[in-house]
Amino acid sequence: MINISFYRDTHKHIKQVLMTGHAGYADPGYDIVCAAVSSQVISVENSLVQLLNIEVETEVNEIEGGYLKVTLPSNLSKSVTHDAQLLLQHLHFAFEVLAESYPEFINIYEKEFIS
């Protein structure tokens, strides 16, 4: 099961995304649920860095996999915050669609971000 937590601040902005676990839909290399989730989050993380020049803090488990945390810095301008939120809301929406199609493999949680 992939557990995805979206951490929001008091303004309801997504400040952090935490993903843990493995889908278990199929064997590694053939798991379409894992591939879909991974490609979405990597694409958004790359867009935050490359398109918006945001120095996100990214943590991964290189050995076992199944762990990714992306955190936005707190010093973003209003304009960059807007653009970052658009990308992160897209990610949230994409995960909701995937979770509807594969509910036994993806859980989504909303949590409070505490800095």
Listing DSSP states for 42-72 in one string gives HHHHHHHHHTT----EEEE-TTT--EEEEE-
Average pLDDT (83-107) is 98
Contact of 15 with 7, CB cutoff 8 Å: yes
Look up the pTM and report it.
Answer: 0.94
Alpha-carbon torsion (12, 44, 67, 76), positive or negative: negative
Q: Does domain 2-112 have CATH number 3.40.605.10?
A: no
- For the packed helices 78-101 and 32-50, what is the interaxial angle rounded to 10 degrees? 170
- For residue 44, the model assigns a pLDDT of 98
Q: How far apart are CA 108 and CA 115, in angstroms?
A: 21
- pLDDT single digits (tens) 12-60: 999 999 999 999 999 988 999 999 999 999 999 999 999 999 999 999 9
**How much is the mean pLDDT over the chain?**
96
